Amino acid sequence: MSKVNYVHETQQYVIGFVGAATLTILAYLSVKLDWFDATTTAIFVLVLAVLQFSVQVYYFLHLRGEAKPRWRSWTFIYSIVMMLVVVFGSLWVMYNLNYRMGMSGEAMEEYMLEQGKKGF
Amino acid sequence: MTSHAAHLKEKAEKASLGFWLYLMTDIMVFASLFATYVILRNGTNGGPASQDIFNLEFVMVETFLLLVSSFTSGLAYLAVRRGLKRRALVLLGTTIALGIGFLTLELYEFGELILAGHGPAHSAFLSAFFTLVGTHGLHILIGIIWAIALGDYISKHGTSPDALRKFSLFVVFWHFLDLVWIFIFTIVYLLGIIS
């Protein structure tokens, strides 16, 4: 392998590092200095986290240019899909449960009667 | 390519794919711990909530220690590939030192919480917090031990193809741990301070 190749790879690492550091600092400042209201800040830092995840996967993990049949890339994508199912599925079920369990007895009875009228 | 070189390449390829599949299962471990944490984070049982116990500056230091160590581990990998033994060892040593720094800060944070009576047994929120962050910390500890063993191997055997194969697995593991930390930093600490 030529030397140029290593220079390029080192550059990739530097770009990844600078990108990740910038995104981390941006997230920190947005929380520390209250740039937005609470909901917007929450969405903002989550978007930054996904961006930083992408930057690190692209520049640090060597998934680019993987030869076919690309086992790593596909298992990675599949795992992320399953991860989202587990996380958002759990949240969905548990918030629903909380909502129903959080009612007073009377409210619950009324709610159940209403649901009963709708049928299944 | 000689048949010996082809054999080594195939061995490296298999080991690397196998290790990658292990990491994919580790994603599921962290996914369930994250889901648990987000669901239980408001279950404080009259104890402290997330905004009472987290110190953002402290966490920023931890985050940067880990990010820089992820970066130096990648550079160390490139050095092993180029056959620069000395540089590889220096960079790996830096990675280990930063990892130990990170772990020390994390244990300090845990110690402070436990001494203040906010241990994992206090509330659902704290149980979930200690489990999620502690599992990540345990991975970091294993990574540090692994890195020390690798440093020992390279200092004895140099930057051989075997050393490169071993190193490539470690470096993926270490990058993976920093990927998980992005979400711990964001979901546990940043969102914990906002709410």
State the pLDDT at residue A18: 97
Interatomic CA distance for residues B51 and B34, integer angstroms: 18
- Give the residue from chain A lying closest to B193, CA to CA: A31
State the pLDDT at residue A89: 94
Between A9 and B101, where is the model more confident?
B101
Phi, psi of A64 (to 5 degrees): -65, 145
Least confident of A24-38, A99-113, B13-27, B118-132: A99-113
State the pLDDT at residue A4: 61
SS (H, E, C) B28-69: HHHHHHHHHHHHHCCCCCCCCCHHHHCCHHHHHHHHHHHHHH
For the cut 80, the answer to whether the pLDDT of residue A2 exceeds it is: no
Contacts with A67 (C-beta within 8 Å, 6 or more apart), sequence order: none
Kindly determine whether residue B185 and residue A24, on different chains, have CB atoms separated by under 8 Å. Answer: yes
Question: Would you mind telling me the total number of residues written for chain B in this entry?
Answer: 195
Contacts with B163 (C-beta within 8 Å, 6 or more apart), sequence order: B80, B150, B153, B154, B157
Its pTM stands at 0.90
Kindly determine whether residue A57 and residue B179, on different chains, have CB atoms separated by under 8 Å. Answer: yes
Interatomic CA distance for residues A76 and B27, integer angstroms: 9
Question: How confident is the model over B127-170, as pLDDT tens digits?
Answer: 999 999 999 999 999 999 999 999 999 999 999 988 999 999 99
A-chain CB neighbours of B82 within 8 Å are 6
**B172 three-state secondary structure:** helix
* Nearest-5° Cα angle at A11, B143 to A70: 65
Superfamily of domain B59-194: Cytochrome c oxidase, subunit III, four-helix bundle (1.20.120.80)
DSSP states of chain A:
--HHHHHHHHHHHHHHHHHHHHHHHHHHHHHHTT-S-HHHHHHHHHHHHHHHHHHHHHHTS--TTPPTT-HHHHHHHHHHHHHHHHHHHHHHHHHHHHHHHTS-HHHHHHHHHHHHHH--
The alpha-carbon gap from B72 to the nearest alpha carbon of chain A, in Å, equals 9
Least confident of A3-7, A36-40, B57-61, B68-72: A3-7
Cα–chain-centroid distance for residue B195?
A: 26
Interatomic CA distance for residues B147 and B125, integer angstroms: 33
C-alpha closest to that of B181 among A7, A23, A109, A97: A23
**What is the average per-residue pLDDT within B91-101?**
97
CA quadruple A88, A94, A97, A103: dihedral sign? negative
Interatomic CA distance for residues B50 and B39, integer angstroms: 13
List chain B domain ranges.
59-194
Question: How confident is the model over A24-68, as pLDDT tens digits?
Answer: 999 999 999 989 999 999 999 999 999 999 999 999 987 777 778
Question: How confident is the model over A75-96, as pLDDT tens digits?
Answer: 999 999 999 999 999 999 988 8
Interatomic CA distance for residues A101 and A79, integer angstroms: 32
Looking at the complex, does the CB of residue B22 fall below 8 Å from at least one CB of chain A?
no
User: Which residue among B21, B179, B190 sits closest to A53, beta carbon to beta carbon?
Assistant: B179
Interatomic CA distance for residues A25 and A31, integer angstroms: 10
C-alpha closest to that of B129 among B137, A44, A92: B137
Q: What part of B 127-166 touches A (C-beta under 8 Å)? A: none
Place of tokens 């080594």: B8
Residue B1: pLDDT band (50, 70, 90) is low
State the pLDDT at residue B163: 92
